[in-house]
Amino acid sequence: MGTTAARQSSAAASVRPASVVDGVYDNIYERLMSLEIAPGSRIPIDVIARDLNVSQTPVREALSRLEREGLVSKAHLIGYSAAPQLSRKEFEDLFNFRLLLEPEGARLAALNMTPGDLKGLEDCAADMGRGEAPVNRTSRYSRFARADALFHDAILKIAGNEVSRHALADQHVHLHLFRLMFHTRVTQEALEEHESLLAAFRAGDPMAAETAMRDHISRSRDRLLAAFE
């Protein structure tokens, strides 16, 4: 009995810190994505810890994760700050970069697609659609940004070009782009465009997949351009 209780206690102790860090991470992530934490502003660890009623340790761990994703940066003697907002030039460069990589990635994915691959993409798209349900718009939008990144990454993974896949992932493109505009139109229209992509994959049509991806990226660019007006 004593041994079992000790094991349960040990398991609880090993799970609890991770869950606290995850909760802190989710909170800061949503605040960054919704611009509640303004781009370029400092993120004081002690204030965040007080706000969330946690110690500073999980806050530091969460910020370290966000730094790896490019959403925050750390400077000597200054600490953590929210990543600056994309400039118009950076925005245009990112979309030109995507237009070079992703339509070809979609074409290759259509050629390589297995029934299991297609099921995985359909499940990912369905998760994004279900993400529209929660009342909390901030959480919904933040989750969609993450799911959108996973959807596009999955297509490039199926395409089989790991160089292209990692090049896009290293730029954290989707997270930075979704910070530009906190608006449900961005998510709803993207869902419709994802469905066109899936239709091309179901039909096994590489050229239709390439066209659908190019159209999706171009439309995304047009939607987000409003952030610079």
Q: Do residues 18 and 63 make contact, with C-beta atoms less than 8 angstroms apart? A: no
pLDDT of residue 116: 97
Quote the CA–CA distance of 36 and 139 in Å, as a whole number: 12
- Fold of the domain built from segment(s) 2-82: Arc Repressor Mutant, subunit A (1.10.10)
Where are the alpha helices (H) located in the chain, listed in sequence order? 2-33, 45-52, 56-68, 88-112, 115-130, 137-159, 162-170, 173-178, 184-203, 206-224
69 burial via Cβ count (<10 Å: 0-12, 13-18, 19+): middle
What per-residue confidence (pLDDT) applies to 17? 53
Place of tokens 């047009």: 222
Torsion sign, CA atoms 170, 171, 173, 175: positive
| pLDDT tier for residue 14 given thresholds of 50, 70 and 90 | very low
Q: What fold is seen in the domain 88-228?
A: Four Helix Bundle (Hemerythrin (Met), subunit A) (1.20.120)
Q: What residue ranges do the domains of the chain occupy?
A: 2-82, 88-228
Chain mean pLDDT for the chain: 86
Q: Which tens digit of pLDDT belongs to each residue from 133-176? A: 444 666 777 788 888 889 999 999 999 999 999 988 888 887 88
Please identify which residue in the block is written with the tokens 């939607």: 223
pTM of the model: 0.81
pLDDT digits (tens, 9 = 90+) for 72-104: 999 988 899 999 988 999 999 999 999 999 999
